[in-house]
Chains A and B, each alone.
Chain A
């Protein structure tokens, strides 16, 4: 008998549609697997009843001969950054602990409309700020992966979408939502041997997603393979009049147009990403990727993205600047945590509430953001960073005159152990060095598994495409996937 929790999104969808198994059977299988995986701490809350309700509706629709949605019968995990009506939405913060929205985010609503069901709300770095999931107020997620030296050291699942990545890698859900501000889909996907795509900025509505940095935040799917990402993205994307930055463009049929043939395509290899001291296994996987795409018919060209080294500093000005303002609404006045010491006035209530409600990393970024926007510093930091951002976008524009997609590592290393980088924020930030440029330029970018390093930990390859060319990105990802033949999965220890 098929193990339902080993199936992909496509297989579940097709199996439910064909009647091979029922949606309720699928939901029950995943609910059980989620319940048995508490050691991973991937979920902040589980919603088995929501998954079952959605499944029952799909089964009833099928029985009645009604048309089924694109994700009919597929239970998924929802990053706890998406507002879900009637279900606690925390952004992994104490500030929003117990906050239950009376509204549903546009993206999650689209997924439910497509027939998906919710297994639960996935853990993440607090307010999506972090690269290891260690900033969550609800405790860090533990990656299902371990080093192959027999060590039981807990590994980081990446971040901020670390609950999503860990849950998919551990087969707790076939797919999940993520959000990516500076690598938060791609880096955790790479760390856990799964796929994830951040579409072009504006493809997915931001309405109802707890904001981190508005000009960078973008929702996207995470799943085990490229096809599943395409299916999920089709359901998630689309113009939303409630989001002024939403793209008013039709959603292409990405799944139907998947094509791993790279003949006639040029793949750019950015020279600036080959930094000194690049991890040897990462460098090798990059070379493998180049060979695979060449094998798929692509022409490989060297390109230059000269402002790459300024991307991370610019990102760590712009994102905190926006965050410092976006997080001002958490003030204890209307919802969420209120800490009102005896006799406190308004200012004291703000101070007490925000001191108690935000974690150290969130506070660090609010401080950075407040600083760079302050009178006297604004031009030196924020204005300058915006100029850098424009130059980085220009770098890509010029590069795409010579190539169709860009191939690079997703992250400079494989997963690190929990606690290894918490003392050094800069080392942590450097994890996103390859992911951040595409975020600043608003470009579609995905990570696909490329293999394991010598420690037995997954490595990811990143494909960056032209604006709106998610298809080109997915196709290159598919070409790699077909050749990488990545079939490793974490041994179950939990």
Chain B
């Protein structure tokens, strides 16, 4: 991975980045109450007495949320702390009913782990880099203030209040906007594989606090700023770039970077100061006396481990080694869990129809999915999730190619019809008369005509211009309207051209 350097007026600078990612835990109920967690519900319809912090209410940990955080920790090879504890982070705000957030400062649930990123997915030779994860802890989300409901008052929606979040804290190992983007994208991929967070950044179920500092290469870390609640991979990269530039300009102008919290304005592509360290809160963290320490036994952790699916890196290696796919294809197919699932369903169905081992069909299936289906869906503005063609339907099409019923070029037409009509491949081939012919009589007749019509080219060919063979094949296929078996055409042509 080439080193990313920023050119300043006074020389080169290096950017140092660490991300704190808040990921909403996929769970039907909140971290310490039984209330539901569905996105987009009417305000204040998913609020229990506990979430509203009524007098005398007590938190009870939700086992499923803990389980998801532990599974996430295992997925990044992190240390799982069998003894952890919840702390209160005290501050007043209208979206925080208890007057404190239950979090884990002193003893987080998950300790050190790491994530492997590749800076260039398309380049299999690109180096991989390990980004350290310092910790994952679980904590409560706050509610939401609504300022547009009343001319002078703000309203509070407590639906999110108490929803479980994982805070995933990286080490300051990230050194460029691209690495920051790759890290966040990889983390999201892992969370989606594990199923512990849906990763939908546009719905706020995943957001990042971006810590940025700059330094001369080789020197100690500079003062960092923290840009809060950045909600897309692209914005995270933009924050790193613009904030690094701002800090460099500031320092080179003789100023100093102030440790502070900043906000990103995507419209102006710049960060601006929210509050500085001087007026930072004193959160008065202390162990939550309403909760006992969280003690996990081996059986629970083992159950979490056993429930993990094959993870992206392992899957990619398997696609390369066991299925023989190119690194690029393996990378594309494993980049998100839905694609991998779709591909595996396609391959399984295709193998079943052909009665062949998966490894034999993997390349064909992978090529078709990546070059044909993705392209076609892209034109329709759709993705795999809302593809009109199912994996089973795709397998049917692949089987028709494999057994010689249609050619690859006819298959393109068939796919278009499938996407248009939702009909099955075999039905379309039948209806449209697209079956390719292996009838040597018809093909021979077509060849004879092509050779007769192009007598001059035949002479050239015979004179040694062998490249013309393809021309004759093309002309014959054209005459046959693409429905002849290309192998038969090849054989007959070779015979006739002697």
Neighbouring B residues of A346 by C-beta, 8 Å:
93-94, 154
Q: Identify which of A324, A329, A382 contacts B55 (C-beta below 8 A).
A: A329
Instruction: Give CA–CA (A328, B291) in the complex, Å.
Output: 18
Cβ-based interface call for A245 (8 A): yes
**Secondary structure of the B contact surface, majority rule:** loop
Q: Are A374 and B284 neighbours in the complex by a CB distance under 8 Å?
A: yes
Instruction: Give CA–CA (A215, B88) in the complex, Å.
Output: 14
Q: Identify which of A209, A210, A215, A328 contacts B92 (C-beta below 8 A).
A: A328
Neighbouring A residues of B97 by C-beta, 8 Å:
329, 333-334
Neighbouring B residues of A214 by C-beta, 8 Å:
289-290
Neighbouring B residues of A350 by C-beta, 8 Å:
92
Neighbouring A residues of B94 by C-beta, 8 Å:
331, 333, 346
> Of all chain B residues, which has the CB nearest A82?
B56
Instruction: Give CA–CA (A91, B99) in the complex, Å.
Output: 19
> Of all chain A residues, which has the CB nearest B55?
A210
Given A91-B55, A244-B61, A325-B100: A215 and B289 within 8 A (CB)? yes
Instruction: Give CA–CA (A328, B59) in the complex, Å.
Output: 16
A82-97 residues with Cβ-Cβ distance < 8 A to B are: 82-83, 89, 91, 96
Q: Are B52 and A244 neighbours in the complex by a CB distance under 8 Å?
A: no
Cβ-based interface call for B53 (8 A): yes
Q: Are B286 and A378 neighbours in the complex by a CB distance under 8 Å?
A: yes
Q: Are A322 and B58 neighbours in the complex by a CB distance under 8 Å?
A: no
Q: Are B56 and A206 neighbours in the complex by a CB distance under 8 Å?
A: yes
Instruction: Give CA–CA (A206, B52) in the complex, Å.
Output: 17
Given A91-B55, A329-B55, A378-B286: A245 and B92 within 8 A (CB)? no
Q: Are A244 and B292 neighbours in the complex by a CB distance under 8 Å?
A: yes
Cβ-based interface call for A242 (8 A): yes
Instruction: Give CA–CA (A335, B156) in the complex, Å.
Output: 13
Q: Identify which of A82, A208, A331, A382 contacts B99 (C-beta below 8 A).
A: A331
Q: Are B53 and A329 neighbours in the complex by a CB distance under 8 Å?
A: yes
Q: Are A243 and B58 neighbours in the complex by a CB distance under 8 Å?
A: yes
Cβ-based interface call for B57 (8 A): yes
Instruction: Give CA–CA (A209, B97) in the complex, Å.
Output: 17
Cβ-based interface call for A99 (8 A): yes
Neighbouring A residues of B57 by C-beta, 8 Å:
207-208
Given A328-B90, A328-B99, A334-B97: A242 and B54 within 8 A (CB)? no
Cβ-based interface call for B442 (8 A): no
> Of all chain A residues, which has the CB nearest B292?
A244
Cβ-based interface call for B352 (8 A): no
Q: Are B99 and A325 neighbours in the complex by a CB distance under 8 Å?
A: yes
Q: Are B286 and A83 neighbours in the complex by a CB distance under 8 Å?
A: no
Tell me the minimal C-beta distance from A290 to chain B in angstroms.
Answer: 36
Cβ-based interface call for A105 (8 A): yes
Cβ-based interface call for A185 (8 A): no
Cβ-based interface call for A450 (8 A): no
Cβ-based interface call for B98 (8 A): yes
Neighbouring B residues of A244 by C-beta, 8 Å:
58-61, 290-292
Instruction: Give CA–CA (A325, B89) in the complex, Å.
Output: 9
Q: Are B56 and A334 neighbours in the complex by a CB distance under 8 Å?
A: no
Neighbouring A residues of B52 by C-beta, 8 Å:
334
Contact with B along A367-390 (1 / 0, CB 8 A): 000100111001000100000000
A320-378 residues with Cβ-Cβ distance < 8 A to B are: 321-322, 324-325, 327-329, 331, 333-335, 346-347, 350, 370, 373-375, 378
Neighbouring A residues of B286 by C-beta, 8 Å:
321, 325, 373, 378, 382
Tell me the minimal C-beta distance from A244 to chain B in angstroms.
Answer: 5
Tell me the minimal C-beta distance from A328 to chain B in angstroms.
Answer: 2
> Of all chain A residues, which has the CB nearest B291?
A244
> Other than the known A101-B54, A208-B57, A242-B58, what 7 A-B pairs have Cβ atoms closer than 8 Å?
A99-B55, A105-B56, A245-B292, A328-B92, A334-B53, A350-B92, A373-B285
The residues of A with any CB-CB pair to B shorter than 8 Å are 82-83, 89, 91, 96, 99, 101-103, 105, 206-211, 213-215, 241-245, 321-322, 324-325, 327-329, 331, 333-335, 346-347, 350, 370, 373-375, 378, 382
8 closest pairs, A vs B, by CB?
A328-B99, A373-B284, A214-B289, A215-B289, A329-B53, A208-B56, A210-B55, A214-B290
Q: Can you list 14 A-B contacts with CB-CB less than 8 angstroms, sorted by A residue number?
A: A101-B55, A102-B49, A206-B56, A208-B56, A213-B289, A241-B60, A245-B290, A324-B90, A325-B286, A334-B52, A334-B97, A346-B93, A346-B94, A378-B285
